[in-house]
Structure 1
Amino acid sequence: MPAASAASSREILKGLHAVMASRAAAQAKLNKVVKIIAEALSSEVCSIYILRDGMLELYATLGLNQSAVHVTKLSLGEGLVGAIARDASVLNLDEAAGHPDFAYRPETGEELFHSFAGVPIVRRERAIGVLAVQHADPRGYDDLEIEALQTVAMVLSELIANAGLADRATGATDAARDGGPVRCMGLKLVAGMARGHVVFHQPRVLIEHTVAEDTEAERHRVYAAFDKMREQIDNMTSMAEFGTAGEHQEILETYKMFAYDEGWSRRINEAIDSGLTAEAAIERVQQRTRMRMRQIDDPLLKERMHDLDDLANRLLRIVSGQLGTAAQMGIPRDAILIARNLGPAELLEYDRRHLKGVILEEGSLTAHVTIVARAMGVPMLGRCRDIRQLVGEGDYVLLDADESTAFVRPSNTVEEAFDAKLVTTQKRRAEYAAMREKLPVSKDGERITVMVNAGLRDDVAALAVTGADGIGLFRTEFQFLVSATLPRRESQQRLYRSVLDAAGDKPVVFRTVDIGGDKALPYLDTDHDDENPAMGWRALRLALGRDALMKAQARALLEAGAGRELRVMFPMVSEPWEFDAAKALVEGQRKWLADHRKPLPTKIRYGAMLEVPALAETLDVLLPKVDFLSIGTNDLTQFLFAADRANPRLAERYDWLSPAILRFLRRVVTACDAADVPVAVCGEMGGRPLEAMALIGIGLRRLSITPAAVGPIKAMVRSLDISALVPDIRTLLDAPNGDLRGALTRWAEQKAVLIG
């Protein structure tokens, strides 16, 4: 059987165009359609299933028994056809009966056929039917044939929708019109509280015409749309407020790279060659992108695919003349934006004075749009399932991202509780802000060093806002995670220098890049497929194995730190020799700069992160080599308990305030004190007042925490008598009673310690 080509796809579309233009009834049209497709693909069977009353009904066929038409029905997920519609995915099988989803329907007579290929018929992002072909010989259909089927399925969606044959999707407004109060749970992406009225982003354009009359005219429309889109992206990257160094600028550069990608424009042109209109061609390529996204497990690569999806939406709106996103039309004051997902550039188009919050059906903590929202100071909640079906345009919403919750059409009681919390939160923030100039000194006069963790250039502003003592952990990998290619040394140097300049005379500890494992980079092939990424080929292990990457970063850090003191910390050190190797690598770059008479830091302080428990057993070897030690409690805890912190079933099972953790940390602190090596805790544990109190009780005097936690920790320290705490903590750890958290909570309440 000859492979389908762009020319044969064009012939199929011409035949379909003639059928669609005829005055025949819908059934007669579909009967002709299956004949056209079967003949063009030399296929013995062609069938169309349409979603009607929640079931996939065999509506037209050539090759199966005609008596099965309107009789054979499959539910979503039932059989091969049901699986295709449920997942909006493609199946291509040389032996259909061998597939686990295969369901035999004797009335169809399909036992004569072995090969099977099916594609979803998609309308408004949902499958409204399935187009399938079958052949007696057991053979797979080739890629060009599948491509032709998918192109035809786009045209069929128009025919089916215009004839009103398929179930109509229930609109969000229809579903919500008679709804009462709804509470939606999600994932906190950007902290904060907001109230406002629902505005739908609505990036999708409904395509009315799929078959082209004039291929060259459609091609020129796409060229013009590309020019306009690229101009928009260029203007966006030059916006004054986002023109400074920082991760959001890196994101926009990545976005710009996609906009100028010749491969993307070539695929759209190929779709136009097959006979599609400009809009349908863009949508066709976009559908292919979405199908690839469903097969990608890597969250970072999937996020880049979301950026491409965002650009396709933008191009589609331009070419259709439907510039109808809420951003272009203007949003009202106090708007809560609702979307399936957003690209970073789409979010930047909104008026920051009016946009109060964002709720997404998808979204992730590492998404580009999350980083941009954080830079904009917009609260954002992600992974709110079916939010677009639960709310209507203009609905009143209370967004509490801090509690991962949104209240839609709230009751008076809920609104009163929200108002009370908002007042309390604002009052507490005002109190913490007033403490900016106050030092974290305990009631008995001990000074605690409180620093912040950072990863974005804009995070450095937290030093002035909170009065923190410095940056105890700057995560350098963020620049790598948001970049489409390995960041150049010059780009790294600019970021590090801008961070040091912004920090002024306050110290900054740069942690060398912690990538690999669950933070894989699509442009960096590690040749490792870790079943347990957290304990895999990552952090310092990867950096020492890819020393060119680490040499470039070391040079960038040394150049950025010229003329001042530089602090460098290596992540996930397991044994002292790894620290030695990493330090030697940096020193080698310093020697190269010195030999070439380049300016150097006045001093370099080297540190290690204790995250792997094994390192605690060799502290006597390590401590004489380091200038400081930082304990990474997030990874350390999961390694000590053999409990993945990303596993929801284990998240609440193991407590930071357990004797095992605190005894382990006490042993490390004692060893560091004996060696006169400063030791700090970097992690979420240090940012919780009760946990921080316990850490202080076992001897820790340095904490590096999130900026939002600085105020509460300062308040706790200033209400604490450390001399009274230390002996009581010692007693509790020497003879634990099973509820250490409860015991510490009661102690804090009795001593009037502010633990929140």
Structure 2
Amino acid sequence: MPASSSAARTILTGLHEVMASRLGAQAKLNQVVEIIGESLDSEVCSIYLLREGMLELFATRGLNQEAVHVTRLAMNEGLVGALAQNIETLNLAEAATHPNFSYRPETGEERFHSFAGVPIVRKERSVGALTVQHGDPRRYEEVEIEALQTVAMVLSEFISNADLIDEQEGFDANPQMNGPQQLTGMTLVKGLARGSAVYHQPRITIDHVMADDTEAERQRVYRAFDRMRDQIEAMANQAEFGVEGEHAEVLQTYKMFAYDEGWSRRINEAIDSGLTAEAAIERVQQRTRMRMRQIDDPLLADRMHDLEDLANRLLRIVSGQMGTAASMGLRQDTILIARNLGPAELLEYDRRRLKGVLLEEGSLTSHVVIVARAMGIPVLGRARGVRAVVRDGDEILLDATQALAQVRPVHAVAQAFETRSQRSRDKQASYAALRGVEPFSRDGERIFVMMNAGLRDDIPMLNLSGADGIGLFRTEFQFLVSAALPQRERQTRLYREVLDAAGDKPVVFRTLDIGGDKSLPYLRKDGDSADENPAMGWRALRLALSREGLMKAQARSLLEATAGRTLNVMFPMVSEPWEFDAARNVFEQQLAMMKQRRRPLPECIRYGAMLEVPALAEMLDVLAPRLSFLSIGTNDLTQFLFAADRSNPRLAERYDWLSPAILRFVRRVIGSLAGHRIDLTVCGEMGGRRLEALALIGLGVRRLSITPAAVGPLKELVRKIDTREIAAAMERWLSEPVSDLRTQMIRWAEERDIEWD
């Protein structure tokens, strides 16, 4: 048996006898410090517990007994306060050299030089400290520190059961957990939301720390490791997993930790010392957390986070608590908190209760963000330190637009937020009044306002928003939220349901835009490698044409679903005319096969392309005669034009849709289509913003496809403008470009009482 396990085992054996005795709580603690001191041959052993926000000396061997219940330290005061505040271990050969050293004369500790201490942690919060001291200057051995950490776990259960601390105080004594706090992050989906904090994976409470049967606990851990490893292997083979664009790297790290003998050995040693399986995992996890706080290397810190995440998975398996908050159901308006989420996990939640999402990680291009945007749920990402600030049930005011969240807000802040939210609701009500109104400008120009969709549940928004149709139905959403490739019958059923719900309003289906950053593990082939630049990688039409069976199945599904109706099908990321022709041929071949088999056929097929790759603009004169419609995809187009990754926050200011460069490009595209009977639509976030939409209308765009939430505001905008006036202004601004067109347009809009974002 390793020395650390032996030392801890000796102490725990003595503690078990003390805990089983009929002594009172104080008497038990008095015996505990004697047992620890003797076992570690330490002259001093002391226990401090959190009472009324202060760390109070509760029991000691070696210090003056008169100091018990007299010496009290604030969190972060003295060595004891520092280790409790920071939830860290201290091991000092000379205590007085530490910057937090604070001498308390009533304790009589001036004759002791060495000091070691560990926090007593309950539910991830400090509720006390266990310390040892020695007269000679020396650092305690690692086995002694690990023994102290193990004993501290047992003490946390004992002091909780004995009501020696106020459980809630353990949280509130941490300044970050007490009173209002503000978290900042990165806006992933704009919006305002208010609700109670709910963790996607609720914390697990360990009720039993000391084991009755060590071998039985070891077998439980072995079985949990086997099951966890099976899950990781399954992720590699069939399920979506990991951070966007880093799938292989993250999965490899997970597998490395899952099979790491050192990690499993440390858990085994903790079991040898007398802990239950759950307590042993938590014991090793606490050690990992303490190490994480000392790591400055961000890459190494991320790897330690991976181990923490995997330890949580192992703890859930061994405890049998595998459910998420979704499986338990939301009982009130909720702000969901998670490290990361998959799109399928998000869709499991009750939309009536889920008001917003707060992620510790997340990126602009992650799958869950795409789905959340379609659902209209605000998301704030990269909110570091959430678990150190937010408790279950805390009130949160989420302002994803301003990239911040108020936790436990004071009344004045909550009132101001509610006033702002009410203004937003009033605005939404005024937009709803325009639901049945056709958007004509003041000079009589009809602007067609379409909406983007991708989920079956998006379709009711078609009537609720009053949109003219669905200008972009992202068919890849069905693939993103599935753990396996959706069969053709499932695809057909979805497309038919969408068309039935849309009625007489047109629906434009975009074929699969997957690959690159929207990687689907179940479509990955052996030998496939991750793109270094996913946005410009093997994705969309490029991938679909290389996977002929995939595109044939989708073509057949769309043709069958639109029998007797008009099929509007659009191909994404077309770079050259031959790619459009190749994609159209796939549909025509499937159509010929259906004719041969006398299957019901679409009444009409309209083929379109998405202009996202600038190269296609140079070939529109060649492609235009074959097109029924063209959609400009501003999200990808703009980042390609500016060579600016839209997921990189450092490039946000350079990703400006009101740059003369992008506006001149759009104007040139519009001009190249003159004389062709082609419907031109602008799709993406650019068209959903007031100033940007105003600029597009001034360039001659008459069809916009935007998020459902932007339909009402855009209708209101159209009714306030004269298209001839804004067209003249745009011509003037683009002929002699100014350094800041946005400022010019804001001034122009304000002079005409036109609201802007």
**Quick check: TM above 0.5?**
yes
Letter in 2 for 1:203: R
Which piece of structure 1 moves more, 385-394 or 496-505?
385-394
Distance 2:479 2:309 in 1: 16
User: What residue number does 1:20 align with?
Assistant: 12
What SS class does the counterpart of residue 694 from structure 1 fall into? helix
C-alpha distance in 1 between matches for 2:466 and 2:209: 60
Q: Give the distance between the partners of 2:349 and 2:633, measured in 1 at CA.
A: 38
SS at match of 1:501: helix
Could you tell me which residue of structure 2 aligns to residue 677 of structure 1?
678
In structure 2, do the counterparts of structure 1 residues 685 and 479 end up closer, same or farther at CA, with 3 Å as the change threshold? Answer: same
* Match of residue 750 from structure 1: 751
Which residue does the alignment assign to 1:555?
556
CA separation in 1, counterparts of 2:336 and 2:691? 36
What amino acid is the match of 1:158?
A: T
Aligned AA for 1:727? Answer: A
The change in CA–CA distance for 1:210 and 1:319 in structure 2 (over 3 A counts) is: farther
- Pairwise CA distance, 1:668: 0.6
Superposed, which structure 2 residues align to 1:349-364 within 5 Å? 357-362=356-361
Q: Structure 2 CA distance, aligned partners of 1:329 and 1:453?
A: 29
Q: CA deviation at 1:311?
A: 6.9
Q: Write out per-residue CA displacement over residues 284-334 of structure 1, whole angstroms, 9 at most, x where no aligned residue.
A: 99999999xx9999xxxx9999999887666555469xx998996996x66
Question: What's the counterpart of residue 441 of structure 1?
Answer: 440
Do the aligned partners of residues 125 and 521 (structure 1) sit closer, same or farther apart at CA in structure 2, a change above 3 Å counting? farther
Determine the structure 1 residue equivalent to 2:206.
206
Contact 1:338 1:360 in 2 (8 A): yes
Contact 1:203 1:314 in 2 (8 A): no
The alpha-carbon distance between structure 1 residues 645 and 520, as it changes in their structure 2 partners (threshold 3 A), is same
Q: 1:374 to 1:311 in 2, by over 3 A?
A: farther
Question: Contact 1:198–1:337 at 8 Å: present in 2 too?
Answer: yes
Question: Aligned in 2, Cα 1:21/1:707: closer, same or farther, shift over 3 Å?
Answer: same
Structure 2 CA distance, aligned partners of 1:281 and 1:562?
Answer: 61
Range 481-490 or range 567-576, more displaced: 481-490
Mark the CA change 1:351 to 1:506 in structure 2 (over 3 Å): closer, same or farther: closer
Alignment of 1:403 onto 2:405: no
Query: Is the aligned partner of 1:460 residue 2:452?
Result: no
- TM superposition shift of 1:611: 0.7
- 1 CA distance for matches of 2:425 and 2:713? 13
| Structure 1 residue 569 corresponds to structure 2 residue 561 | no
TM-score normalised per structure 2: 0.67
Match of 1:186 in 2: 185
| Worse-superposed segment, 15-24 or 486-495 | 15-24
Q: How does 1:650-729 map to 2 (within 5 A)?
A: 650-729=651-730
The residue that corresponds to 1:383 in the other structure is: 382
Whether the aligned pair in 1 keeps the contact of 2:154 and 2:209 (CA below 8 Å) is no
Correspondences of 1:464-613 after superposition (within 5 Å): 464-525=463-524, 527-613=528-614
> Post-superposition shift, 1:20?
3.4
Query: For residues 648 and 599 of structure 1, what CA distance do their matches in structure 2 show?
Result: 50
1:473 counterpart letter in structure 2 = L
Q: Distance in 1 between matches of 2:347 and 2:539?
A: 33
CA contact (8 A) 1:327 1:351 kept: no
When structure 1 is superposed on structure 2, of 508-517 and 16-25 the one drifting more is 16-25
Deviation of residue 489 (structure 1)?
Answer: 2.4
Q: Report SS of the residue matched to 1:652.
A: helix
In the aligned structure 2, how far is the partner of 1:659 from the partner of 1:495? 40
Distance 1:545 1:197, change over 3 A: closer
Task: Specify the code of the residue in structure 1 equivalent to 2:399.
Answer: D
Return the alpha-carbon distance in structure 1 between the equivalents of residues 460 and 319 of structure 2. Answer: 37
Tell me the equivalent position of 1:636: 637
Structure 1 residues 311 and 180: alpha-carbon distance in aligned structure 2, compared to 1, 3 A threshold: closer
- Over residues 244-278 of structure 1, what are the superposed CA-to-partner deviations in whole Å (9 max), with x where a residue is unaligned? xxx9xxxxxxxxxxxxxxxx99999x999997855
5 Å-filtered alignment, 1:229-378, equals 277=276, 279=278, 315=317, 318=320, 357-362=356-361
CA contact (8 A) 2:479 2:486 kept: yes
**Structure-2 change in CA distance of 1:512 and 1:714 (3 Å):** same
Q: Is the 8 A contact 2:194 2:333 kept in 1?
A: yes
In 2, Cα distance between equivalents of 1:217 and 1:160: 20
Q: How far did residue 700 of structure 1 move? A: 0.9
Give the Cα–Cα distance (whole angstroms) in 1 for the partners of residues 493 and 731 of structure 2. 47
In structure 1, distance between residues paired with 2:40 and 2:523: 49
Specify whether residues 338 and 728 from structure 1 end up closer, same or farther in structure 2 by C-alpha distance, changes over 3 A only. closer
Give SS of 1:399's match.
strand
CA distance in 1, matches of 2:151, 2:454: 51
Q: For the Cα contact (< 8 Å) 2:541–2:571, is it kept in 1? A: yes
| 8 Å CA contact 2:658, 2:692 repeated in 1 | yes
Q: How far is the alpha carbon of 1:624 from its aligned partner? A: 1.2
Give the partner amino acid of 1:624.
P
CA distance in 1, matches of 2:565, 2:298: 44
Note the alpha carbon deviations across 1:542-595, whole angstroms, 9 max, x for none. Answer: 222222222222222222223322121111111111111111122222233333
1:568 maps to a residue whose letter is V
Task: Supply the distance in 2 between the matched residues of 1:648 and 1:421 (Cα, whole angstroms).
Answer: 26
Partner of 1:244: none
1:135 corresponding residue in structure 2: none
Larger Rg: 2
Change (3 A) 1:594 1:741: same
RMSD over aligned Cα atoms: 5.4
The equivalent residue for 2:230 is none
Secondary structure of residue in 1 paired with 2:728: helix
- Aligned-pair CA distance for 1:356: 5.4
> How far apart, in 2, do the equivalents of 1:180 and 1:644 lie?
39
Offset at 1:74? 12
Which one-letter code corresponds to 1:162 in the other structure? V
SS in 2 for 1:674: coil
Closer/same/farther in 2, CA of residues 368 and 126 from structure 1, 3 Å limit = farther
Shift in CA distance, 728/20, structure 1 to aligned 2, threshold 3 Å: same
SS class of match (2:444): coil
Q: Secondary structure at the match of 2:605?
A: strand
Structure 1 stretch displaced more, 619-628 or 207-216: 207-216
Q: Structure 1 pair 743/194, CA: closer, same or farther in 2 (3 Å)?
A: closer
Partner AA of 2:213 in structure 1: E
- Does the 8 Å contact 1:433/1:465 carry over to 2? yes
1:430 aligned onto 2:422: no
Matched, 1:158 2:150: yes
Aligned to 1:731: 732
Taking a change above 3 Å as real, the CA distance of residues 178 and 217 of structure 1, as seen in their structure-2 partners, is closer
Measure, in 1, the Cα distance between the counterparts of 2:190 and 2:671: 36
C-alpha deviations, 1:10-60, integer Å up to 9, x for none?
x997997566324695477679xxxxxxxxxxxxxxxxxx9957698797x
Describe the superposition over 1:411-462 as per-residue Cα deviations: whole angstroms up to 9, x where unpaired.
5553443233222211110010000000111111111111111122211111
Distance 2:747 2:592 in 1: 56
Partners of 1:306 and 1:343 within 8 A in 2: no
Conservation of the 8 A alpha-carbon contact between 2:749 and 2:755: yes
Q: Secondary structure at the match of 2:674?
A: helix
Please say if residues 122 and 157 of structure 1, whose CA atoms lie closer than 8 Å, have aligned partners that are also in contact: no
Q: Distance in 2 between matches of 1:583 and 1:592?
A: 14
Secondary structure in 2 aligned to 1:517? Answer: coil
> How many angstroms does 1:279 deviate by?
3.5
Distance 1:342-1:503 versus aligned 2 partners, 3 A rule: same
1:644-688 Cα deviation digits (max 9, x unpaired) = 222222211242122211111111111223222111101111111
Q: CA deviation at 1:699?
A: 1.2
Structure 1: distance between partners of 2:385 and 2:740: 40
After TM superposition, the score normalised by the length of structure 1 is 0.67
Q: Match of 1:579, SS?
A: helix
Question: Deviations along 1:728-748, whole A, 9 cap, x unmatched?
Answer: 322222222333223333333
